[in-house]
Structure 1
Amino acid sequence: MDEKARANENASRDSMATVAEKAPVTAQRKVRADLETKLPKPYLPRALAAPDTDNVNGTWSHKHENMSVLQQHVAFFDQDNDGIIYPWDTYKALHIEDLSIFNVYSTAAVFWLSSAYNRSNMSSGLRAIGFNAIASFFMAILIHGAMSYVTLPTWIPSPFLPIYVVNIHKAKHGSDSTTYDTEGRYIPANLENIFSKYARTVADKLTLKELWHMTEANRNAFDFVGWCLSKFEWGVLYVLAKDSEGFLSKEAVRRCFDGSLFEYCAKMQKGAAAAGKMG
């Protein structure tokens, strides 16, 4: 091999390198280089589905209704399907369906507000959290107070604190995993890289400690609100969906992104309630 060919080979190898020797963090937080062999165009943002290497077409039987993946994430809370989520819609979803939404402030607040939260084991290891009426009311007001204004179609605030599903992408905050892009599309590669970077114990699952490390690594400079929101969202998801061994699975995270996790939990809660009445 002549010198020019060797130089071209080295340049080609370097152009695809994912680790830089003088940046140890690039070796500590590895990204996957094999995604294209398992998932078509993994770096292409998906508007309608949330696929991963195990579910190349997204969640089976989940209907996207031509909404973006981020819109699907919140659509469960649009109880009357009018495209607007009011505080009472969120309250019903929190209290009646025994679910919790992830876009509020701190994990500590969840435990303080819950006073007593119910955990019901499900066939896949997912859990649903049931908040009492006072907690649900407080959280609904907090959520809408934080998110409503940026989604409004006008500059004039609304006293009813509605969240417009069509504009939910405007409520995206910093210091997140960037699995959603700024238009609400879903980027499969970023989901996969969450686990390649931070899952040290089990390849496709996160411990609470690993989850904490991820949120620390994702922090943007001076983004104090984003830091808090990110830790809260992932903390509540961990409580909601961890398995009996304390792991948060990639499947649970993926289904949270497209909202099918909420639908699943609601069905399980209804089934458990029906069985209880029959019993």
Structure 2
Amino acid sequence: MSEKTSLQKHVGYFDPDGDDIVWPADTFRGVRTLDSTSLFVGTNDVTEMFIFHFCWHFYPVLSLHSTRSRIYIKNIKWDVHGTDSRAFDPYGNFVNENFEKIFNEHSTAPEKDSLTLWDTVVMIWNLHSANDFFGPIASLASFLIAYYLLAGPDGKVKKAHLKTVYDGSGFHSIARQVALGRKRGQLDPTLKF
């Protein structure tokens, strides 16, 4: 198999056995490793499983998911919904220019290096596609999870931190820091272990 795309690496965190199939239980366990101490994460686990394992069955893509709610990582490019940040191209590759555009156009920070929760809501509103009713919900859920995990005490998510979520490289670092007892607001997904 060729090199995995950024989107495949992002989803690959939730595939602990490396078989390129993500089951609902894999998603549940993966989310638990990112924040196992709060009530929100229990709700988040259910939300993640609902969005990523149930809702995608309504998209008319043949052989994308089975009736057992499996997600095949090799087909994940078909799961990019209409209302997204455009940081992934149609093949699942990370597009840095579009990622930078998120901050240049939607960040209210003077340095354009972070996003507040309101910046994110405005971005999703501005990027939503006409007649796409599910996409804004999926985008908001994804960004709320990232915001919940990564926002610092100032209520902002740093650009460098969010980038590690897009390419999947930050999940392992976040999980390691949570295992070592670090709490939300103290996590730095750019740390290497």
Identity %: 27
Residue 104 of structure 2 is aligned to residue 196 of structure 1: yes
User: How many angstroms does 1:220 deviate by?
Assistant: 1.3
In the alignment, is residue 73 of structure 1 matched against residue 10 of structure 2? yes
1:116 is the counterpart of 2:78: no
Shift in alpha-carbon separation, 1:154–1:197, aligned structure 2, 3 A: closer
- Structure 1's 187 and 196: CA in aligned 2 closer, same or farther, altered over 3 A? same
**Correspondent of 2:67 among 159, 165, 175:** 159
Structure 2 residue identity aligned to 1:240: L
**Aligned residue runs from structure 1 range 21-170, under 5 A:** 66-95=3-32, 97-99=33-35, 116-117=39-40, 131-132=41-42, 136=45, 139-147=48-56, 154=63, 158-170=66-78
Distance 1:189 1:247 in 2: 21
Structure exhibiting the larger radius of gyration computed from Cα positions: 1
Hey, what's the Cα distance between the residues in 2 that align with 1:73 and 1:151? Answer: 23
1:173 pairs with 68, 72, 81, which one?
81
Structure 1 residue 183 corresponds to structure 2 residue 112: no
CA contact (8 A) 2:114 2:159 kept: yes
Q: Which residue of 2 aligns with 1:272?
A: 181
Paired letter, 2:181? A
CA contact (8 A) 2:83 2:128 kept: yes
Residue 163 (structure 2) aligns with: 254
What is the CA–CA distance in structure 2 between the aligned matches of 1:70 and 1:140, rounded to whole Å?
18
- Assess if the C-alpha contact under 8 Å between 2:84 and 2:128 holds in 1: yes
Residue 141 of structure 1 and its aligned partner are, at CA, apart by: 4.6
Partner-residue secondary structure (3-state), 2:91: coil
Query: In the TM superposition, what is the alpha-carbon distance from 1:222 to its structure 2 partner?
Result: 1.6
Q: Measure the CA separation in 2 of the matches of 1:201 and 1:138.
A: 30
Structure 1: which amino acid aligns with 2:128?
R
Q: Is the Cα contact below 8 Å between 2:34 and 2:175 reproduced in 1?
A: yes
CA contact (8 A) 1:71 1:184 kept: yes
For structure 1, list consecutive stretches of 5 or more residues without a partner in the other structure. 1-64, 101-113, 118-130, 274-279
* Aligned counterparts of 1:83 and 1:193: Cα–Cα separation in 2: 31
Tell me which residue corresponds to 2:128: 219
Structure 2 unaligned blocks of 5 or more? 183-193
Matched position secondary structure for 1:182 = coil
Distance in 2 (CA, whole Å) between partners of 1:138 and 1:86 is 14
Hey, what's the Cα distance between the residues in 1 that align with 2:46 and 2:141? 18
On the 8 A contact 2:51/2:138 being kept in 1, the answer is no
Which amino acid in the other structure matches residue 39 of structure 2? Answer: A
User: What RMSD over aligned residues (CA atoms) do the two structures have, in Å?
Assistant: 2.7
Contact 1:79 1:89 in 2 (8 A): yes
Q: 1:242 aligns with which of 144, 151, 156?
A: 151
Code of the residue aligned with 2:12 in structure 1: it is: A
In 2, Cα distance between equivalents of 1:151 and 1:78: 24
Is contact 1:147–1:163 with CA below 8 Å preserved after alignment? no
Q: Indicate conservation of the 8 Å contact 1:151/1:168, yes or no.
A: no
**Structure 1 residue 138: deviation in Å?**
6.3
Greater helix proportion: 2
Local SS of the residue matching 2:39: coil
The answer to whether structure 1 residue 231 and structure 2 residue 168 are counterparts is: no
2:25, 2:58 → 1: CA distance? 17
Structure 2 distance, partners of 1:178, 1:89, is: 26
